Structure 1
Amino acid sequence: MNLEKSIAALNNPVRRRILEWLKDRTNFPPALPEHADLDGVCVAYIQEKAKLSQSTISNYMGLLKQAGFVVAERHGQWTFYRRDEENIRAFLAAVQNELLKP
């Protein structure tokens, strides 16, 4: 894990808010019937909630993905994102270890 890259990804309030929103699928509109069985949230719903351009959201989600905070899955023309809870916990443990180690 690259702590600098992870911390840089979190150094933006909207990216942190996106991670917060992704904790609960009900923060977004219901999935379309053909996507009901998929994990995650369509990037279009994230863009709509954040009220930012498609290119900005794509950039933000790419940074969060590179940092290991989200997983992306393509389904046809749609990209769905979900939190990577295991990597989020690993990041928090790494920060704790670095800041609290003797």
Structure 2
Amino acid sequence: MTDEKAVEIFKALSNQTRVNILQMLKNPETNFSTEAHVIKQGEFEGGVCVSDIHKKSGVSQSTTSQYLSILLQSGLLEMKRIGQWTYYRRNEETIKQFEHYIRTKL
């Protein structure tokens, strides 16, 4: 991971709500209701519908979308559109690379 990429991730993590979203998505089965649109199998397992993330985030729909976009651009989230729905999940590979960066460079 480059220093520039790490700085982008640090910026994405500089907001408590964005950190909360990442924490919620760590265990979607636990953090979202059984009625939530959580993909439980298939190629995007663990993805949560943006509307369910919005309901749980405590911020407006537009702010939720903006925060998800920032997390996506930083590489901390992955996104997939399925029909009319947009799903997000954590990008565990990037999170592992960031963890390694912190451990070895800082």
Q: What range describes the TM-score normalised by the shorter chain of this pair?
A: 0.7 to 0.9
Using the alignment, how far apart are the partners of 1:16 and 1:57 within structure 2? 12
Output the amino acid matched with 2:27. D
* 1:75 alignment partner in structure 2: 82
Is residue 2:32 matched to residue 1:28? Answer: yes
- Match 1:84 to one of 88, 91, 99: 91
Q: Which has the greater radius of gyration?
A: 1
Any gaps of 5 or more consecutive residues in structure 2? Answer: none
Q: Does structure 1 residue 51 correspond to structure 2 residue 58?
A: yes
What residue in structure 2 maps to residue 5 of structure 1? 8
Q: What is the match of residue 60 of structure 1?
A: 67
- Residue 93 of structure 1 is matched in structure 2 by 100
- Alpha-carbon distance in 2 for matches of 1:57, 1:23: 17
Q: Could you tell me how far apart the structure 2 residues matched to 1:8 and 1:59 are? A: 14
- Aligned-pair Cα RMSD in Å: 1.8
- Structure 1 stretches of 4+ with a deviation exceeding 6 A read none
Identity of aligned pairs, percent? 42
* Secondary structure of the corresponding residue to residue 81 of structure 1: strand
Deviations 1:10-36 (A, max 9, x none): 001111111111011221122459x65
TM-score when scaled to structure 2? 0.83
Greater relative contact order structure (CA < 8 Å, 6+ sep)? 1
- The two structures have a TM-score, normalised by structure 1, of 0.86
